[in-house]
Structures are given as C-alpha cells and as structure tokens.
C-alpha cells in the first residue's frame, strides 16, 4: 500500500475522533437542556462513527504490522 494511502487513513481517523468528541459534547449539552430526542440522535451518530473508528483502527494496525 502506498504511504499516501496510509497517511490518509490516519488523517481520517483523527478527523473521526474529533467529530465523535464534538457529537458527544453536544449530546451532553442537549441532555442538560433536557432535549432528550436531540441528545439521543447526537449520541447515536457518535456511536456509529465510533464503531467506524474502531474498524479503521484495525485496518491501520494491520497495515503497520
């Protein structure tokens, strides 16, 4: 695999990490505001993206070793 592809996967992982953190932070705010539907939606999206991060981490680890 080309180094540029590997580096792109690392960048995507870092971006997903930030997005997941942002979604979790927003979900927490919505919970505090008792906007439970919004909090649930944000948390669900964060969970889905987190699962993608885990999968991507496996791919990255396999490419490293």
> Residue 34: helix, strand or coil by DSSP?
coil
Tens digit of pLDDT for each residue in 16-45? Answer: 999 999 999 999 999 999 999 999 999 999
Measured CA distances, 9 to 3, 39, 48 (Å): 10, 29, 18
The whole model's pTM is what? 0.91
Residue 65: pLDDT band by 50, 70, 90 thresholds?
Answer: confident
Tens digit of pLDDT for each residue in 39-63? Answer: 999 999 999 999 999 999 999 999 9
Of 65, 53, 61, 64, give the one whose Cα is nearest residue 3.
64
Residue 4: pLDDT band by 50, 70, 90 thresholds?
Answer: very high
pLDDT at 64: 87
């Amino acid at each position: 695999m080309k180094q540029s592809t590997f580096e792109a996967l690392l960048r995507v992982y870092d971006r997903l990490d930030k997005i997941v953190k942002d979604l979790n932070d927003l979900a927490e705010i919505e919970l505090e505001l008792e906007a439970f539907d919004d909090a649930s939606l944000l948390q669900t999206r964060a969970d889905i993206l987190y699962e993608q991060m885990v999968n991507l981490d496996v791919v990255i680890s396999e490419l490293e070793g």
